[in-house]
Structure 1
Amino acid sequence: MGFAVDTKMIKLFRTFAVLADVSCVQSNLGNTRSKYYSTLCNKQYNFSLRDGLFAQAKRQFKANRKPSRSADATFEGIAVESGPVPFKNLLKPLGFTIVFSAGSLAGATIWQYENMRTHAMSMVRKPTHWLQQSQKKMGAWRQELNKQWNSLGEGEKLYIPLFIMNAIVFAVWRVPRFQPFMVKYFCSNPAAKVLCWPMILSTFSHYSTFHLLANMFVLYTFSTGVVQNMGKEQFLGMYLAGGVISSFASYLHKAITCQASLSLGASGAIMSVLGYVCSEYPETRLSIIFLPMFTFSASIALKVIIGIDVAGVVLGWKFFDHAAHLGGALWGMSWCYWGNTYIWQKREPLLQYWHSLRGGTSR
């Protein structure tokens, strides 16, 4: 037993389709309803109650109405790879994670050597160097700018370039023609063709204003103090390594759950800073910005955050990339208890090797 859609019914559905097209500007639900009604208006269907096709279409329509919080839904019209991720596809990202993390720490060591060398040479030639510097900065505005910069702490001097890089990437997101490029290189996705460089580039990538401001506020709050203890070189090496390690943790979780999707943001790298600070200074009192009257120890805060992220991973919450948060936090904790002692404090051979390479150019 079946029935055909008559002409009056088609006109009625076309009217609904127009209304749905207007409402689709306001929500994704309107877009789904528009496609459903437009398809129904352009074709005549014989719905068989016996075969259950009408019930199947109804169930499909209800499923499409469910809102999605996935980052993929934000970039309409851009193809985003998805689907199961074979574990063999993680070998290359794993290698990149190891090489990039080691390179970040080695680069931080060399940077520290060069800073110490430059400072030592400037102290030797201090009178002449001071005269040359005073002659270079003749403009009043440059002198004032230099004065303001020198008044900043080491943590603030490191934070400002990081903030500027994140702000530039955020501005590029606002240009529609660049969004396919940004999705390809500034969003990590284990199902994508480009796997490695997005693991670190996505650490500087934020699509929403709130996401950017929230992450930059937390980074400023924790980085400016801890840099005084770690040094800017060690901090930056740990931060960059934390970004790529958290991305790999996200890849691994998505491969296990067969739910590939886009991820972006500095949260994973910032969680490594948070994990280090709360492990190094567990008795430090923290508070929530909007509730400053409630204080709690850093160790309690870290346990609560890790508990939330573990629950998010186990229960499949999609609002945050909880696996990336866990990867960053575990990296920060491991650096506090193990990395600083057995890696950073053992960097003397690299310093000596680099010193031997630079020895021929010293004057």
Structure 2
Amino acid sequence: MFNNIPPITRNLIILNIVIYVVTNFFLYGLENPELYNSLSAFYPSSPNFRSWQIVTHMFMHAPLEGSGFLHILFNMFTLFSFGPILEQSLGDKKYLILYFLSGLGAFFLFNLWNFIEVEQIKSGLENFGFDVNSYLNGNSVQIKGDSALVFEQKELLEKLKSIVSNPMLGASGAIFGVIAAFATLYPDAKIGIMFIPIPVKVKYVLPIVVIGSIYLGVTGSGGGIAHLAHVGGAIVGFILAKIWKKHLYRFN
């Protein structure tokens, strides 16, 4: 069955699985989280950020001891479900462009929102006379003021630390681009959804998922999931599919 999957989708799935096995059992599994993290994508102003993470984060998934197995299983099953049809419709080149540009779009939108939050946090801390730049450079910075002011600064610092020190990882952004492109090219296609007894047209499902992701991402109630990365990938997938839809049958 696996050999019947079109080559690009098949190779993307294989690459994701191989990287997951290697990073968990040969890098992270040998107590080298630095090597694991070096392939995940940190906020660009973080001291842990490296330029290659913009691409490599698309092939990383949560560590195995957490929810990592379900993370990669769900992503690869979704890619298996939607990828082959798009690969055959768009052709190898456009399909690869869709996948990687959607992943980049996920990285961009997620970190654009992070930038807005970081600037708000920095502004709040600087009002207290806190040297944010020195803190971000790894220097020890003293918190000054009475207990109430110290508590408020610590809260802001915790938010800043969370953004700077927690990387984003996973193929979800790229895959959301694939789903959005599929919904744009085949809006009346019906898909099965858990807990819903009848198939639903994908053109109804995608907007609900995107709106929900925006809400969860903006409110910060996403439970450690980079929901705005999903939105960024979906936006890119939608735009590319809209552009290509007019010429779909020219390159079939």
Global fold match (TM > 0.5): yes
In the alignment, structure 1 residue 167 sits paired with structure 2 residue 22: no
Alignment of 1:225-236 (within 5 A): 225-236=85-96
In the alignment, structure 1 residue 198 sits paired with structure 2 residue 103: no
Q: Could you give the per-residue CA deviations for residues 65-123 of structure 1, whole angstroms, max 9, x where no partner exists?
A: xxxxxxxxxxxxxxxxxxxxxxxxxxxxxxxxxxxxxxxxxxxxxxxxxxxxxxxxxxx
Contact 2:40 2:167 in 1 (8 A): no
* Aligned-residue offset at 1:168: 1.9
Contact 1:272 1:330 in 2 (8 A): yes
How many Å separate the matches in 2 of 1:317 and 1:256?
17
Alignment of 1:125-164 (within 5 A): 152-154=4-6, 157-164=7-14
Instruction: Please name the residue that 2:144 is paired with.
Output: none
How many Å separate the matches in 1 of 2:59 and 2:245?
25
Q: Which amino acid in the other structure matches residue 254 of structure 1? A: N
Instruction: Please name the residue that 2:104 is paired with.
Output: 244
Contact 1:243 1:266 in 2 (8 A): yes
How many Å separate the matches in 1 of 2:90 and 2:244?
12
Distance 1:253 1:231, change over 3 A: same
Instruction: Please name the residue that 1:297 is paired with.
Output: 201
In the alignment, structure 1 residue 310 sits paired with structure 2 residue 214: yes
List alignment gaps of at least 5 residues for structure 1: 1-147, 346-363
- Paired-residue identity, %: 22
* Other structure's SS at 2:200 match: strand
Q: Could you give the per-residue CA deviations for residues 164-209 of structure 1, whole angstroms, max 9, x where no partner exists?
A: 2111221222323432112123233334233431121010001211
Q: Which amino acid in the other structure matches residue 234 of structure 2? A: A
* Aligned-residue offset at 1:291: 4.2
Instruction: Please name the residue that 2:143 is paired with.
Output: none
Distance 1:173 1:188, change over 3 A: farther
* Aligned-residue offset at 1:339: 5.5
What TM-score, normalized by structure 1, do the two folds share?
A: 0.49
* Other structure's SS at 1:185 match: coil
How many Å separate the matches in 2 of 1:217 and 1:188?
26
Instruction: Please name the residue that 1:4 is paired with.
Output: none
Contact 1:284 1:298 in 2 (8 A): yes
Count of residues paired in the alignment = 193
Contact 1:153 1:224 in 2 (8 A): yes
* Aligned-residue offset at 1:296: 1.1
In the alignment, structure 1 residue 323 sits paired with structure 2 residue 228: yes
Contact 1:189 1:195 in 2 (8 A): no
* Aligned-residue offset at 1:279: 1.1
What TM-score, normalized by structure 2, do the two folds share?
A: 0.70
Contact 2:180 2:237 in 1 (8 A): yes
In the alignment, structure 1 residue 269 sits paired with structure 2 residue 174: yes
* Other structure's SS at 2:42 match: coil
In the alignment, structure 1 residue 220 sits paired with structure 2 residue 80: yes
How many Å separate the matches in 2 of 1:292 and 1:231?
33
Alignment of 1:1-363 (within 5 A): 152-154=4-6, 157-171=7-21, 172-174=23-25, 175-193=29-47, 194-207=49-62, 208-258=68-118, 259=160, 260=163, 261-288=166-193, 290-291=194-195, 293-319=197-223, 320-338=225-243
* Aligned-residue offset at 1:275: 0.7
- RCO higher in structure (CA 8 A, sep ≥6): 2
* Aligned-residue offset at 1:271: 0.4
Contact 2:185 2:245 in 1 (8 A): no
How many Å separate the matches in 1 of 2:97 and 2:237?
12
List alignment gaps of at least 5 residues for structure 2: 63-67, 119-159
